Structure 1
């Protein structure tokens, strides 16, 4: 999974433009790429000296999901971009794959009302394009869970060194297969631990009877925890989400068991880029060597990129973004989807 900076026909590769969770904001993605200096040639966005790395979660929720996937997939397949798998691509794979015999369910991800709601918009936008959806699912399965190249690391939610090493032992390129996918839906398996941590991060359970009414419309009984505080003491030391914890729970002490489940990514590690955590406001660095690029694009926030050119200490001035306009809420016309 290691890479080296290489020379392209246009010249030396200057660096990568990392783009956070698109969630179906395909028109805004096209606008951001144009702002970054990418232009379409042959139906593919290209830059003479740079490449894109997508951080996953191309699908669900937004109005131009097919467009977002088409842009990213064409770039990846043309060698103009890389991508890592997000939890929403993983959810789609599990939702649409039948469970093997003896598993006592029809689908790997059960079709509950909650799960149906998450993927509903994606399935609706692909409803009249079943072959395209099948090809998209096959492409999702070929997306690696993490990348390490040219001095940077990329994962959707959490770089857990032990679990990344465990993944690489059997899957050196970070790509899973259908057997791994089937095993990953069983809590307690190594496959579950790897996929859950790398694509969803760490969650800390709230006390019995306590819930968060999340800004995305879901009721949550846990909160998302980050992984860059060396000796966290309280819940407030690790919470990483826009929803506040109820009451005075930020002052609640982490138990030994909770602390043992947390990952840690130290300041001496290579630059790391993540998505997933639907931040809000002006993009900022949570740590000197970590950038989160998910700024709630689908909730009319910002679709964010970081322009990386080899620096080991990240610089907030390298963020670039486009505010997602409310016009993105409108469903596209057919000619807005098709490139050709």
Structure 2
């Protein structure tokens, strides 16, 4: 799909922060020409989650879509684009649901800003939903890989047999509503990552206000011993949980992306602080832009290991509405 000889700018979760995205593109040397942000020698690669939460979702989608349409960018699917398709797709009868993503108050809160901002533009929203099907679940360029949340070769390899370019269709979206189906497992793992249930029936209310019985886990730790060794989310585990030992079966169930695999770039995880690699072959580019964190890019050239000096970002230190 990609020309591996080109240079790329990989960009984390935008979440409707269109003005911040323009500031970042400008800092990266892109210029708006003919209504499209362009660079003379580089291409932008977006890691998904263009929609939801932020103040300029429609504008952000137009920026990214127009860059992709003009050959100036690629974009993969994030869990929020998948959620939007699920919200609008009737479920198969055997799933026991009305829609792939049920219209619950919790799900409604997550997509509220998007639906509200498109309320007066239903045709536009319809077109973007169709476009979401053109966003692959992953990109494998050989030297490097992109996925929104987690690379799992045990799922990606069989997925390629059905969808060689990683672009799924409505049938796959509908199949993903059936619990524990292949489609559901693929969408959960690639777009939401790995997780583990909190012990003893505990729940955790995160910074986003949502209460969960699971916590997000690392998919690369080589020899973890405790729950705290594998937690990968902004919300800390209670101390007694973080110090609790992992069982042998829990350790065996963990996914491991090894250090000798190609460079992998993900979004999704709401990181904070100064952007940096997680490992020499792994970086997360989601630094909570919509929560006034940073919108982050990585400038990828010919390297095969991630260079800590090549992260570029803009700080979001004031409401986007005032920019």
TM-score bin, normalised by smaller chain: over 0.9
Shift, 1:259, TM fit: 2.6
Write out aligned runs for 1:222-261 (5 A). 222-261=214-253
Shift, 1:329, TM fit: 4.3
2:51 to 59, 70, 76: 59
State which drifts further: 119-128 or 199-208: 199-208
Shift, 1:45, TM fit: 0.6
State the TM-score, normalizing by the size of structure 2. Answer: 0.96
Give the direction of change, closer, same or farther, for the CA distance of 1:104–1:163 in structure 2 (3 Å limit).
closer
Query: Residues 101-151 of structure 1, C-alpha deviation per residue, up to 9 Å, x if partnerless?
Result: 454432111100100000000000000000000000001111100001262
- 8 A Cα contact 1:33 1:45, kept in partner: yes
- 8 A Cα contact 1:20 1:54, kept in partner: yes
The separation in 1 between residues aligned to 2:192 and 2:291, in whole angstroms, is 19
Does residue 197 (structure 1) correspond to residue 186 (structure 2)? The answer is no
- 8 A Cα contact 2:199 2:241, kept in partner: no
Write out aligned runs for 1:83-122 (5 A). 83-101=75-93, 103-122=95-114
Shift, 1:278, TM fit: 0.3
State the TM-score, normalizing by the size of structure 1. Answer: 0.91
- 8 A Cα contact 1:213 1:220, kept in partner: yes
Shift, 1:237, TM fit: 1.6
Shift, 1:213, TM fit: 2.0
Give the direction of change, closer, same or farther, for the CA distance of 1:96–1:283 in structure 2 (3 Å limit).
same
Give the direction of change, closer, same or farther, for the CA distance of 1:303–1:188 in structure 2 (3 Å limit).
same
Shift, 1:254, TM fit: 1.9
Write out aligned runs for 1:142-221 (5 A). 142-149=134-141, 151-221=143-213
Give the direction of change, closer, same or farther, for the CA distance of 1:100–1:118 in structure 2 (3 Å limit).
same
State which drifts further: 242-251 or 22-31: 242-251
Structure 2 residues not aligned, in runs of 5+: none
The separation in 1 between residues aligned to 2:191 and 2:162, in whole angstroms, is 18
Query: Residues 246-274 of structure 1, C-alpha deviation per residue, up to 9 Å, x if partnerless?
Result: 13212222233433332211111111100
Give the direction of change, closer, same or farther, for the CA distance of 1:317–1:186 in structure 2 (3 Å limit).
same
1:141 to 126, 133, 147: 133
SS in 2 for 1:326: coil
Structure 1 residues not aligned, in runs of 5+: 7-12, 333-340
SS in 1 for 2:319: helix
The separation in 1 between residues aligned to 2:253 and 2:129, in whole angstroms, is 31
Shift, 1:322, TM fit: 0.5
Pairwise CA RMSD: 1.5
- 8 A Cα contact 2:13 2:295, kept in partner: yes
